[in-house]
A and B are shown apart, each in its own frame.
Chain A
């Protein structure tokens, strides 16, 4: 008997992905064989699975293993981002059960889909081949389209799902076209080889195919991270999607988009840095300004947070323009902090919103501060962190992002950034104004704080506050993570 010779494949780099995929499939099966009834146990299993995956991911810290003929790599950069995704997913799972139960759409498929999204994001972070990154992105996106429209009975949720799907598919086309052009220009899809080939070109900027490919890829990713002018889908999708999914989308996939962007542009296209940083400069300014200015005029709290999420992508882009150690470490730190503070804020929004999200406006927070002081204090911490006030993680994150830009001489970019930040304070303060300075219109007694949500809030508060006081505990890892790419 002849043996089929399989090339040696090291499975270690994708062990957490395998684990989560198997878990997700198992959950799907369990869900099929136990139809109806309570689905909370699925949330608990998923959460435990995410914790286990986090341990697996954490164990890989410090190693550098390439596998699958160099299309996947396990390095600190990937590990840091994977942790961010797991934090986002873990918090989302914790806040989902109560919401889905209340809205009457606690279908068991939710949790496997979240896990599949995480698998996709993880592949994006560790892929070193355009194809791997694309596959990861598709796994993530397809699951997200379903998640956005998960509340089947709700028109807005349906609209969100469809909108996200149509525009998402469109942007994927851009991305794929860009990748194809890059392949055409360099003859490879492996990032390191692209870097070598582009580095050997005498005049890479004259290679139209290469430049066009780069710009098209940038467009594709800009859609995923909701950067202006490709942000139009964000408010509607964020408003319509079930709130826990909105929280998840604003933190997880955004971070994944940045992971892939950073890896592709810093590893494969550093030769073109002058060109892409100019494009990103404009994009960063647009994204920050559009996000903040529009957020000022919103009344629906999900839309406020949606637009603010656009602005936050803009801040992260500032660090990307700098493309130095400070800026990129800032992006990593910020994405992780953002997962904590934004999902935390959305958790409070869920609690206040009532069934059917009838309490979805900023004004519905009136008087929360003295009716439910603890919730309001927690919300205040998230809001100050989002606004970038010390001593929160949001401040340290912004500090490093903008410092990176200043270090590279982009003073004006930093100035525009901080002015935007000051403008953003207005709409975050507005929520606090309602919470503390207006007379209550509700008694807020209906708010039920279940154990998982409380746990999520505790984790989120710790994550938004402690790194603001002792940033080194996270920053040192972020720094090590960006050294390798």
Chain B
């Protein structure tokens, strides 16, 4: 099974070929085949998990020549380490759930929808496993195409605006990254690097000015994808308009491309520049946490609320990653997976009520728990996970992030960010209360049916993961630990930077200090 990684990545493409031969009116067959393909892909990816050795090396590596022309040599160079392992598994895990969620939600153009889903899966997996910068870029861009069509064809009222905005935003960032990529390659060539292989570039020493420019180009592309404040504006549009499965995948996996990009590329390739910009990025992350939480609070549309909560959660991930210590990055990585599960679940929940009522306005609901007890229970668990209640997965990730960031140079940022934890509890619990509790006063909600077997089957794996990761996160952390330690070593730099960081401190110290104190305690109390 030496090429199990390629198999996992390209199985969905085989599925697409299969779908092409199925007549477009056989919707049931199309759905079932797609589900089967994604389930098989997930099962194959479990082979990767069981065969994974807990060390810092890249495993399941495949490295064959691909393009050699002019000054460039590109190779089909793939492999995973503890960091990408979980993201690959998250992708293969979410896909069958996403497919299953479309069974009644998508009635139009089912064949095309399924093809988009499968192409998307290959694109996402490819980006996570690429160890060749050029190959990574190809997958990174290819991913856009099926997502664009998913939002644009099956989306809501403003779908075209959202789809085009999503595409162009991402495209601008990634094209600048491409320029940086080529520039980096030529720099590497002067130092004797022979191809786009990522590992060689880790050893490349770059001067500070070069690092800054390259880091900015990479960071910009990734920041759009994360998305970080103030580049996040495409996300609420895309999420609100996308069909449920699209939102689930967008939240669960696509956004992780951005944070993964920082962890895999931007930080280890340009460590000095990453340290230099850490205060700036942490500031943006903290602004994102607070701002998105405040905006989420006043949303009337449940889906938009969840979308903004994504921005806030990803802000935490960024804060953890830029702590540059083992706790912070572990927390960040873990939170990436947690967010994938819990926000994915939230979008599914929104999808369930939208399918029943064709509205997502909070005011149209109220008292649903009386009619839908199972739904209410699951919604509550997911809400707790999203809020970060101990015992659920969200707590572990957030806790590690805050510890890591607090111990790093980002202490003050952490203190402000912690208030975001409370804010998230406010908007999540509030929306839960308004939708599920209270009087069942809207007559249209009287005849709502509870979740059916298929919908429960969709949610059960997610709920199981929420508790499993919340109560016993050890296997997850253990597997990624060596890779993270390696990353921390790569990101460690000479003490020159000690002069850089304090410069960022005082400006931010003054204001937040007083509001910071109360912010910590409630979290500890939790």
A and B interact: yes
| Interface residues in chain A, defined as those with a beta carbon under 8 Å from any beta carbon in chain B | 325-326, 329, 369-370, 373, 384, 389-391, 395, 399-400, 402-403, 406-407, 411, 414-415, 418-419, 421-422, 425-426, 429-430, 432-433, 436-437, 470-472, 475-476, 478-479
The distance in angstroms between the C-alpha atoms of A426 and B164, with both chains bound, is: 7
Interface range, B side: 20 to 34
Q: Is B47 an interface residue when CB atoms closer than 8 A count as contact? A: no
The answer to the question of B458 belonging to the interface, with a C-beta cut-off of 8 Å to chain A, is no
Across-interface contacts of A472 in B (CB, < 8 A): 67-69
Chain A residue numbers with a CB within 8 Å of B112 are: 370, 373
Stretch at the interface among B97-105, B137-145, B287-295: B137-145
Decide: A419 near B152, CB < 8 A? Known: A325-B70, A433-B160.
no
When chains A and B are docked, how far (Å) is the Cα of A406 from the Cα of B213? 14
Q: A390-B142, A471-B67, A476-B69 are in contact. Are A429 and B153 (CB under 8 A)?
A: no
A471 to B65, CA, bound (A): 12
Nearest-Cβ distance from residue B191 to partner chain A, whole angstroms: 15
The answer on a CB contact under 8 Å between A479 and B67 is: no
Q: Give the residue name and chain of the A residue nearest to B183 (CB).
A: A406
A373-B20 Cα distance, complex, nearest whole Å: 12
Q: Specify which of B144, B145, B171, B182 is in contact with A402 (CB 8 Å cutoff).
A: B182
A430–B164 CA distance with the chains assembled, in angstroms = 8
Assess the A390–B141 pair: CB atoms within 8 A: yes
**Set A389, A390, A415: member contacting B179, Cβ < 8 A:** A415
Contact of B167 among A326, A406, A419, A429 (CB under 8 A): A429
For B175, list chain A residues within 8 Å (CB). Answer: 418-419, 421-422
28 examples of A-B residue contacts, CB within 8 angstroms: A326-B71, A370-B109, A389-B144, A390-B142, A391-B138, A399-B182, A402-B178, A402-B179, A402-B182, A406-B183, A407-B186, A411-B183, A414-B179, A414-B182, A415-B176, A418-B179, A419-B176, A422-B175, A425-B171, A429-B168, A433-B160, A437-B152, A437-B163, A470-B67, A471-B67, A472-B68, A475-B67, A479-B70
Could you tell me the distance in whole angstroms from the C-beta of B171 to the nearest C-beta in chain A? 5
Q: What 13 additional pairs, Cβ within 8 angstroms, besides A419-B172, A470-B67?
A: A325-B70, A329-B69, A402-B178, A406-B182, A418-B179, A419-B176, A421-B175, A425-B171, A430-B164, A433-B163, A471-B67, A472-B69, A475-B70
Q: From the candidates B67, B71, B153, B182, name the one contacting A436 in the complex (CB within 8 A).
A: B153
Q: How far is the CB of B71 from chain A (nearest CB, A)?
A: 6
Contact of A403 among B141, B160, B182 (CB under 8 A): B182
**With the chains together, A329 CA to B148 CA distance in Å?**
32
Residue of A nearest to B141 (CB): A390
A418 touches B70 (CB 8 A): no
A56 vs chain B, min Cβ distance (A): 27
Kindly list chain A residues whose C-beta atoms are within 8 Å of the C-beta of B109. Answer: 370
Most B CB atoms within 10 A — which of A406, A430, A470, A475? A406
In whole angstroms, how far apart are the Cα atoms of A429 and B148 in the complex? 10
Contacting pair A437 B182 (CB below 8 A): no
Is the CB of B149 closer than 8 A to any CB of chain A?
yes
Number of inter-chain CB pairs below 8 Å: 96
Counting chain B CB atoms within 10 Å of each CB, the highest count among A395, A402, A422, A430 belongs to A422
Chain B residue nearest to A474 (CB atoms) is B69
B182 near A422 with CB under 8 A, answer: no
- Provide the residues of chain B in CB contact with A436, threshold 8 Å: 149, 152-153
Could you tell me the distance in whole angstroms from the C-beta of B213 to the nearest C-beta in chain A?
A: 9
Q: In the complex the two chains form, is B164's CB within 8 Å of A429's CB?
A: yes
For window 157-186 of B, CB contacts with A under 8 Å fall at 159-160, 163-164, 167-168, 171-172, 175-176, 178-179, 182-183, 186
Q: How far is A429 from B142 in the complex, measured between Cα atoms in Å?
A: 15
CB pair B145–A422 under 8 Å, yes or no, is no
The reply on B72 being an interface residue by CB < 8 A is yes
Report Cα–Cα, A480/B227, bound state, in Å. Answer: 44
Among residues of A, the one whose C-beta sits closest to the C-beta of B139 is A390
Query: A479 touching B168 by the CB < 8 A rule?
Result: no
Cβ contacts B180-210/A at 8 Å (1 or 0 each): 0011001000000000000000000000000
Q: Which residues of B contact A433 (CB under 8 A)?
A: 152, 160, 163-164
Residues in A whose Cβ lies below 8 Å from that of B168: 422, 425-426, 429
B418 to chain A, nearest CB (A): 38
Chain A residues near B182 (CB, 8 Å)? 399, 402-403, 406-407, 414
Most A CB within 10 A of own CB, among B68, B69, B149, B175: B69
Decide: B70 and A326 in contact? CB cutoff 8 A: yes
* Most chain B beta-carbon contacts within 10 A, residue among A329, A414, A436, A437: A437
Contacts of B183 in A (CB 8 A): 406, 411
Bound-complex Cα distance A83 to B448 (A): 67
A249 to chain B, nearest CB (A): 29
Given A403-B72, A406-B179, A436-B152, A422–B186 Cβ distance below 8 Å?
no
| 8 Å CB contact of B186 from A395, A406, A425 | A406
Residues of A within 8 A of B67 (CB): 470-472, 475
The docked-state distance in angstroms from the alpha carbon of A389 to that of B146 is 12
Distance (whole angstroms) from the CB of A155 to the closest CB of chain B:
35
Contact B141 A389 (CB under 8 A): yes
With A415-B179, A437-B159 known to touch, is A422 a contact of B171 (CB < 8 Å)?
Answer: yes
Roughly how many angstroms separate A389 CA and B149 CA in the complex, as a whole number? 15
* Cβ–Cβ contact A437 & B137, under 8 A: no
